[in-house]
Amino acid sequence: MQLNKISILTLCCAGLMACDAGNGEGLNDNGRPLSEVGASIALSPTLDSLQANLFTPNCAVSGCHSGSSAPLGLSLEAGNTFANLVSRASVQQPGKLRIQPGDAINSYLVQKVEGASGITGNRMPRDRARLDQALIDNLKLWINNGAPVSSSATGSLPPVVSQSTPASDARLSALPASISIVFSRAMDISTLEDLTLNLLSAGGDAGFSDGNESALIIQPTLSADGLTLTLDLSANASVGNPAIEDSYQLTIKGEGAAVARDLNSQVLDGDGNGQAGGDFVLTFRVAASALLPVFSSLEADFFVPNCAKSGCHSGGSPQAGMNLEQGNVYNSIVAVQSVFAPTLQRINPGNADDSAIVQAIEGTILAIPQMPFDNQGGIPQADINVLRQWVDNGAIP
Amino acid sequence: MKQLSIFTFLLIAVYSFPAFAEPYLALRSGQKCMSCHVNPTGGGKRSDAGSTFGQFVLPEKAGADLWNGRVNPYLAMGGDLRANLNYVDRESGDNQSAFETERASLYLEITPIKDVLTLYVDQLMTPSASNREAYALMWNEERSLYFKAGKMFLPYGLRLEDDSAFIRSASGINFANADNGIEGGFESEAWTLNAALTNGSNGGDENNTGKQISLRLEHFQSNWRSGASFNLNDGDADAGRTMFNIFGGLQWLGIDWLAEIDAIKDEGTTVGDIDRLAALLEANRLLAKGQNLKVTLEYYDPDTDVDEDQQTRTSVVWEYTPLSLLQIRVGLRIAEGIPQATDDQNDDLLFVQLHSWF
């Protein structure tokens, strides 16, 4: 009996230890015979290439997104990928599409592979290294190109503006040195020039049609992937000057003789109606703070709207025990020791630099994430300067 | 009185129910997984005996008081946290080191009818909140038959903690893939039979009329056990998966041996039918109280009809449980796959893990 056990175990151990990994001869990167799959496909923003380089080797592996038991019914084998991903609602977050053609940023698949905050479950691929950035970039480019099924198709959706910095209707404390525009599809830089780009200042009023506007100098550059347009404003004297208050309007032409186009010559869908054409218009303003360096103004127009939100500094269990609802603010902050930075007072009367709240709002304190947590960096410096002034004046109630 | 209670629990734990989470602990103690877990097929929240084992038997230094997560006679809680520091030596690409909260789970056990009806929830808190299991569990009076309905991990092979083990990742039956359906089981001193009928969509919406059948039979003796599993997932018209495995454990030469071999057949893939093979051999040695050394050999052939595509792994893990409810694991995993692979099949892993539970 003992001999039998020894024999069996020895056989098991020897058997497994004798199993070497394959030498890969005659196989492609994914371990499939070259005769079966042909030559490897270079990485590019097409479905065929992404299937070969991304989905098959990273997702459609045994036990994962392959076969009849693919999680969430989501097989990503060749032939299934398009139908299961493009314009299909996510099971984990039904309000989102796994792939939203033309909008990589809001496609749930992109959020999953990037491990974005707010996803349900694990980053993908689960328990494996993060996908190479080149794979993710090509995936996003394919999606932004409309996620066409055929590698020869160009996609039917016209390009749109996915994101802008500053955001529309933003209030800034000074004119920024640059404006950033993210498009849904790779753009043709030759169509982004003086005739299609126009940045106006309103001339002191909020109107852009009364004849007192003036054009600003803009220097456009396009990122290598063709998606991000940066407008350099540094040649304008008003950049960074908080004393010059005005409204600004950026127009990217999608209507008229000269229009912005993507690399497939599709005209910009500036008004976002799903049809090529229409101007994209972004307005923002530069304005000094409306706050006064007195407590009543700061409490009503600074702390309460920015901090006393549900789940933040309000209610019976406010974050850090600091209730910033109307009537509670002063006693919660002035000369009170910070919980997360115990060497500091939340507001140190007479010393804004050494006040934890000021540092937290400016994002300069390691112990506390930048505040407001849901709008980090979103408070204009002009408003912060008023808060600083009140603190330096002694934080008088 | 309290000391007497703890002493009684200790006696029970040492002599009756010394099992804890990993199959080798069940083997080492000659018990079934259900001895220490609420779930009859193991994993998740510990039972009172499991809590006692984890606090008084497993660690080098036993705890002073018993914490079994019981809030009142009808409600008990449990949890697991695994925090890692990983260093990955990547074959293709830059090496990586990262802190990672691998998993934090909370368990809720509601027992409206003691020993008969349990409502159970296993909720993953991080990374990202999601439900892993949620089911109603009913036992007969003799505790020889049970029935489950809801979302559950499927009975199949060895219930290893490591989802990335080839036998668990290739089969797709692991802690990441609970499924909706029903499960029944028979338990006797020497036998366990589990059978489940589920959607076969791993927790997702069902998109076809086919169902997944999982069967698992295991025979127990004091120092060895063996079993076999079968799984059929009937997908749409052409696609389907059939799996079969044999597994077992043996206490021998002071080592707790575990082994499993899985044969997997996928039908209706884009390259036709594929036969896969995965195997694991694990040796566990109790070095001293609170210390276990684990050596694992793994093998995976992703397509038995294709030559030179096999993958292997060798792992060495030292598990040290210095205190009650706290374990430190240090491990090295050497992986070998085809040289041209651009995924992680050639990436070596060095990790330190802090595992805490209650």
pLDDT confidence band for A8 (50 / 70 / 90): low
Contact A22 B310 (CB under 8 A): yes
pLDDT at B166: 92
Highest-scoring range by mean pLDDT, A94-103, A129-138, A272-281, B344-353: B344-353
Range in A92-96, A230-234, B186-190 with the lowest mean pLDDT: A92-96
The mean pLDDT value for A162-187 works out to: 83
By CB atoms closer than 10 A (0-12, 13-18, 19+), residue B65 is: exposed
pLDDT at B11: 35
pLDDT confidence band for B207 (50 / 70 / 90): low
pLDDT at B194: 97
| In the predicted structure, residue A163 carries a pLDDT above the cut 70 | yes
* A-chain residue closest to B204, CA distance: A72
CB A386 within 8 A of CB A300: no
The mean pLDDT value for B165-169 works out to: 91
Contact A129 B130 (CB under 8 A): no
| In the predicted structure, residue B62 carries a pLDDT above the cut 80 | yes
More confident residue, A241 or B357: B357
CA distance A367 to chain B (A): 19
- Is beta strand B348-357 parallel, antiparallel or unpaired with respect to B326-336? antiparallel
| Chain B CB contacts of A32 below 8 Å | 271, 303, 306, 309
CA distance A328 to chain B (A): 33
The mean pLDDT value for B40-64 works out to: 88
Contact B201 A73 (CB under 8 A): yes
Please state whether B116 falls in left (phi above 0), alpha (psi between -120 and 50) or beta.
Answer: alpha
pLDDT at B15: 35
| In the predicted structure, residue A170 carries a pLDDT above the cut 60 | yes
Contact A57 B343 (CB under 8 A): yes
> What mean pLDDT is reported for chain B?
87
Contact A62 B264 (CB under 8 A): yes
CA distance A108 to chain B (A): 14
| In the predicted structure, residue A153 carries a pLDDT above the cut 80 | no
| In the predicted structure, residue B9 carries a pLDDT above the cut 50 | no
Residues 257-286 (B) with a CB less than 8 A from some CB of A: 257, 259, 264, 266, 268-271, 274, 276, 279, 281
In a 3-state reduction of DSSP, which class is residue B4? helix
Which of A17, A127, A128 faces B297 most closely, judged by CB atoms?
Answer: A17
> What mean pLDDT is reported for chain A?
82
3-state secondary structure A213-248: CEECCCEEEECCCCCEEEEECCCCCCECCCCCCEEE
pLDDT at A73: 65
Q: Edge-to-edge strands of the sheet including A214-215? A: A170-172, A280-286, A246-252, A197-201, A214-215
Range in A20-34, A54-68, B181-195 with the lowest mean pLDDT: A54-68
pLDDT confidence band for A16 (50 / 70 / 90): low
Q: Which residues contact B262 (CB under 8 A, 6 or more apart)?
A: B157, B167, B170, B171, B243, B244, B245, B276, B277, B278, B279
Residue B190 has a CB neighbour count (10 Å cut-off) of: 9
Cα of B199 vs its chain's centroid, Å: 21
The mean pLDDT value for A363-389 works out to: 81
Contact A31 B93 (CB under 8 A): no
To test the contact with chain B by mutation, choose from A2, A4, A29, A69 the residue with the greatest count of B C-beta atoms within 10 A, namely A69
Both tokens of residue A26? Answer: 């005659």
Both tokens of residue A99? Answer: 């792939």
| In the predicted structure, residue B113 carries a pLDDT above the cut 90 | yes
| Chain B CB contacts of A93 below 8 Å | none
pLDDT confidence band for B235 (50 / 70 / 90): low
> How many Å apart are CA B311 and CA B158, to the nearest integer?
20
* Model-level ipTM above the cut of 0.95: no
More confident residue, B328 or A19: B328
pLDDT at A192: 92
**In angstroms, what CA-CA distances link B126 with A120, A121, B81, B108, B352?**
10, 8, 9, 16, 18
The CATH class of A161-286 is mainly beta
pLDDT at B177: 82
More confident residue, B204 or A135: A135
Report the DSSP beta bridge partners of residue B258.
B249, B282
pLDDT at A37: 56
* B-chain residue closest to A58, CA distance: B343
| In the predicted structure, residue B286 carries a pLDDT above the cut 90 | yes
> How many Å apart are CA A393 and CA A391, to the nearest integer?
5
pLDDT at A157: 67
Give residue limits of the domains in chain A. Answer: 1-157, 161-286, 295-392
Percentage of chain B exceeding pLDDT 70: 90
To test the contact with chain A by mutation, choose from B299, B316, B353 the residue with the greatest count of A C-beta atoms within 10 A, namely B299
CB A275 within 8 A of CB A255: no
Residues 284-303 (B) with a CB less than 8 A from some CB of A: 297-299, 302-303
Tell me how far apart the 2 most distant CA atoms of chain A are, in Å: 103
pLDDT at A56: 83
Range in A37-41, A202-206, B326-330, B347-351 with the lowest mean pLDDT: A37-41
pLDDT digits (tens, 9 = 90+) for A277-329: 899 999 988 877 778 888 998 998 899 988 988 778 888 778 888 889 899 99
pLDDT at A146: 76
| In the predicted structure, residue A151 carries a pLDDT above the cut 50 | no
pLDDT digits (tens, 9 = 90+) for A192-246: 988 899 999 988 777 888 888 999 999 999 988 788 899 999 998 888 777 677 8
pLDDT confidence band for B59 (50 / 70 / 90): very high
Is B341 part of the contact surface with chain A (CB cutoff 8 Å)?
yes
Percentage of chain A exceeding pLDDT 90: 23
The mean pLDDT value for A147-176 works out to: 72
CA distance B309 to chain A (A): 5
